Each structure stands twice: as C-alpha cells, then as structure tokens.
C-alpha cells in the first residue's frame, strides 16, 4: 500500500512555499493554484496555507459531485457541523465555505459542474479561458490517491508549454498496529483504511497504459504514464490478498 501511495501521491515540491518555488523552479509564483474537490479535508488546509503564502496569482477550486463526494461531505460534517446545515451542492462550494469559516479566505473562482477527473480538467481549462487568465504555470492539489492521474489528464488536454507542478494533499504510511492495518499519522478527514485501499487499487489499472486502462492504448482519457515494475508488483500482491478491493468506475459520474 505504501508503494502505491507514494507513486500515486506525486509531490514536486518539498513544501508549499514561495521559497521552494524559487529555489527549485526559479518561479516567484505560479499563475494558478488549483484544489480539486476529490481531496480529503487536509487538501483545504494546504490550499489555505498556500494562499497565505501568496504562492499563486489566481486561486481556483474545482469539483462538482462525484464518487468521493458523499464521504467528503460526511467527514466535513464531523469537522464543521455548522456547514452541514447549509445547502451545498458541490465539492468546490463545500471547500470554499470551509476556507471562509476556518481561515477567512476566499478563492477567486469555483468550478462546480465536474463529476470525474476528465471533466475536472476540461472544465478547469474552460474556466481559465473564459476569464482570460494567462496560464503558463499551474500547481495542483488533489487527493493523494488521484494526484498522478490528475496530472496525466492535464497533460493530455493542456497546451504543451504549460508548466505543471503537483502537490498531493497528504502523504501517509500504512503500518501494522495490534495486528490491524492503520496509518502512522492520520491527516484531517482521512478516508478509512479500507476506502484508502480501494482508491489506490482502482488507480493502478486506470494509470497502466493497456487496452483496459485510461491511457492512449485504452480509453484515451489520460496521457501515457510509465508504470515502474515495483508498483505493478505491489498492485498484484495486494490484488492476491484483497481480490475485491478494486474500485470500479461508477457510470453515474462518467
């Protein structure tokens, strides 16, 4: 699980700071910072941290209602019960209200129609074009299980000259404690261990560029992703132990 988590949860910066941007990429800011609503609550905290750091020129939250939304709304209700009393219909609206309530911060734009990784990206690009936002660099925060796929989706649809950086919403290690799998440290709003496993196991066949995958040789939803041998070996080992753990695509959100 840790091999898969480290692979899927891509981070291109050590920290979300302007100093790291400057030191490693010679950038004072990125043009756009995006939080995708499929993230756990910790993603909202990171987004707030980056806003306070003034890391970008524009701040966007993307997310309608998809396969992780119900669990996100449940976790947010535990964390901030006052939000559960409001009529909120999208992940982007939910995170925007969370940012306002907890940090008194407001993003520049919300995208509230998307239901999956593909239209997360296509609707984001439409929004940037509609508002005539010059975008030569973009930094993305997504749930760690889906970060690499989000990057591969953007790579497929974005202009070739777009400079892209990733910062997965969390990094966790799975350990064994009292003969049970658990997390070494649990981020805010973290999925339960079973759901985390299901998300990870669903990503590998999607990322793998085969006729069954989402890459150019398959459904052509994403750009090609190189799959390291240890990642595939870890996936097959988990598949043998947890044959029913792989998340299937929900046609309601296709």
| Distance of alpha carbon 242 from alpha carbon 245, whole angstroms | 6
φ, ψ at 93 (rounded to 5°): -65, -40
If you search the block for the tokens 């984001």, which residue do you land on?
A: 124
Cα angle, residue 14 at apex, residues 209 and 221 outer, rounded to 5° = 20
Residue with tokens 């997390």: 183
Whole-angstrom distance, CA of residue 233 vs CA of residue 239:
10
Phi, psi of 35 (to 5 degrees): -105, 125
Q: For every one of its 254 residues, what pLDDT tens digit does the chain have, with 9 covering 90 and above?
A: 999 999 999 999 999 999 999 999 999 999 999 999 989 999 999 999 999 999 999 999 999 988 778 888 888 989 888 887 678 889 999 999 999 999 999 999 999 988 887 889 999 999 999 999 999 999 999 999 999 999 999 999 998 899 999 999 999 999 999 999 999 999 999 999 999 999 999 999 999 999 999 999 999 999 999 999 999 999 999 999 887 766 555 555 45
CB 225 within 8 A of CB 204: no
Q: Are strands 174-177 and 180-183 parallel, antiparallel or unpaired?
A: antiparallel
Q: Are 208 and 245 spatial neighbours (Cβ–Cβ below 8 Å)? A: no
Sign, CA dihedral 129-26-62-205, equals: positive
Contact 8, 145 (CB under 8 A): yes
Spatial separation of the C-alpha atoms in residues 202 and 215, rounded to whole Å: 14
Number of Cβ within 10 Å of residue 174's Cβ equals 17
Instruction: Show the tokens assigned to 80.
Output: 């901030």
Element (H, E) at 177: strand 174-177
């Amino acid at each position: 699980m840790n091999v898969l988590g480290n692979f899927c949860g891509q981070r291109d910066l050590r920290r979300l700071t302007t100093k790291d941007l400057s030191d490693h990429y010679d950038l004072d800011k990125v043009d756009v910072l995006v939080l995708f609503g499929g993230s756990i609550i910790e993603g909202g905290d990171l987004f707030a941290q980056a806003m306070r750091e003034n890391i970008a020129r524009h701040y966007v939250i993307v997310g309608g209602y998809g396969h992780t939304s119900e669990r996100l709304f449940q976790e947010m209700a535990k964390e901030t019960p006052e939000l559960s009393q409001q009529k909120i219909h999208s992940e982007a609206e939910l995170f925007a209200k969370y940012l306002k309530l907890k940090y008194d911060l407001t993003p520049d734009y919300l995208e509230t129609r998307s239901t999956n990784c593909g239209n997360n990206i296509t609707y984001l690009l439409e929004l940037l074009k509609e508002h005539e936002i010059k975008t030569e660099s973009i930094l993305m925060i997504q749930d760690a299980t889906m970060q690499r796929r989000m990057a591969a989706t953007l790579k497929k649809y974005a202009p070739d000259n777009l400079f892209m950086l990733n910062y997965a919403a969390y990094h966790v290690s799975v350990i064994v404690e009292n003969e049970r799998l658990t997390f070494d440290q649990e981020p805010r709003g973290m999925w339960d261990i079973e759901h985390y496993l299901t998300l990870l196991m669903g990503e590998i066949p999607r990322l793998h560029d085969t006729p069954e995958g989402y890459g150019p040789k398959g459904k052509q939803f994403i750009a090609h992703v190189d799959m390291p041998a240890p990642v595939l070996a870890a996936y097959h080992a988990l598949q043998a132990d947890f044959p029913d753990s792989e998340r299937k695509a929900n046609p309601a959100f296709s």
